[in-house]
Each structure stands twice: as C-alpha cells, then as structure tokens.
Copies of this chain bind each other. A is one copy, B any other.
Amino acid sequence: MSSYQANGYWYGEGRSVPEAVDLLNLMRRYREAERRMRAATRGSMGMNETDMSALRFLLAEHRKGVTPRQRDFAEELGISNASVSVLIDRLCRDGYAERVVHPADRRSVGIVPTDYSDTEVRGTLHRMHEQMMDAVGTLSEDERVAAAKFLEAMIRSVEIDDEPSRPSAGKGVVREGALPSR
C-alpha cells in the first residue's frame, strides 16, 4: 500500500508525480487524520460526536450574533426534537450551555454558550484551524487555484448523482436579527 515517504514525496510505484489514485489516497489519509484529531478532542472533553457538533454549531451561531433555538439544532444535526431536548440537557448539565427564554417567542428556548465552553473549544479545534490556515498560506496563488479546482471536482463527484447540484445548500437558518442576548 502506497510507498509514501514523509519528506521525499514519492507516490504509487516510485512515481514522483501523483496520479489520481495517489490523490484519493491522500484524501483518505486526511480524512482519517482529521477524524482521529476530532475524536481526541472529543475524548479529552468527554463528549460524544453529536454533542460536539452541537457545541461547535452553537459557538458558530453565537459568534454571528444569533441565538439558536432547539429546533435549529434538530435541523442542523439531523436528529429529532426530542433527542435535541435531551442533548441540550447534557450540554447544560456539563456547563457548556444555558437555556434562556427566547424574547420573540415564548414557546421557544434560546440556547447560549457559556464562557467556559468557548475557551475549552478554542484551546483545541481553533488551534487546528489556525494550523490549517498557516499551512495553506505557504501555497502559491497557482497552487491554491489548482487545489480549489481539485476540491471542486471531488465535491461534484460525490454529490452529482444525489441531486443535480446545490452548492451553498440550504442553511435555512432564521437570521433572526437582534437579540445578542448578553
């Protein structure tokens, strides 16, 4: 399997220019490495997959000035409202989030992250994010164009036969102006 060498960049059978199969192998390796990384973060925080996704979503929305409702979590995560209810219970119990009354609709519960959760996540995932930004920063303009072309081709490959195309898909997120709630 793929005679890769850390510093020399050799591929397939002694090739120094990657073929399609080599790029696919690199994609697979990246996916594995990222999965391990996220798993480690999750493990160190004692959280499961969906709770972690929920927390990341919560922090992202909060940074945009939006206070999501439980319903938004259900849509984002693709799980039922009932499951979200229990999920938020867990996040609150462990000090990552708090329930607040939603100013615009008293049926709804607004969810806000605690300061604790922000610093906790920043210490791990944000660090990875910055490293990735730095890494890409070393590429030339031509290389970035090529990388983008490659990624776009890959995306088209895996989504083409599901539906015609839906690039910046959905995000039916209710922008819900106002209420920074803080």
Q: List 20 A-B contacts (CB under 8 A).
A: A4-B168, A6-B165, A18-B145, A20-B132, A20-B136, A29-B151, A30-B154, A33-B158, A35-B176, A36-B173, A36-B176, A40-B176, A43-B176, A131-B161, A136-B150, A136-B153, A138-B153, A139-B149, A146-B147, A146-B150
> Residue A135 at the B interface, CB < 8 A?
yes
Of B40, B134, B161, B173, the residue contacting A162 (CB under 8 A) is: B40
Residues of B with C-beta under 8 A to A29: 151, 155, 169
> Residue A126 at the B interface, CB < 8 A?
no
In the bound complex, what is the Cα–Cα distance between A2 and B171 (angstroms)? 12
Task: Please state the number of chain copies in the assembly.
Answer: 2
Nearest 5 A-B pairs (CB), nearest first? A146-B146, A39-B176, A135-B153, A20-B136, A147-B150
Q: Report whether A158 and B23 are in contact in the complex, using a CB–CB cutoff of 8 Å.
A: no
A-to-B contact residues, CB < 8 Å: 1-2, 4-6, 9, 11, 17-24, 26-27, 29-37, 39-40, 42-43, 46-48, 127-129, 131-139, 141-162, 165, 167-171, 173, 176, 179-182
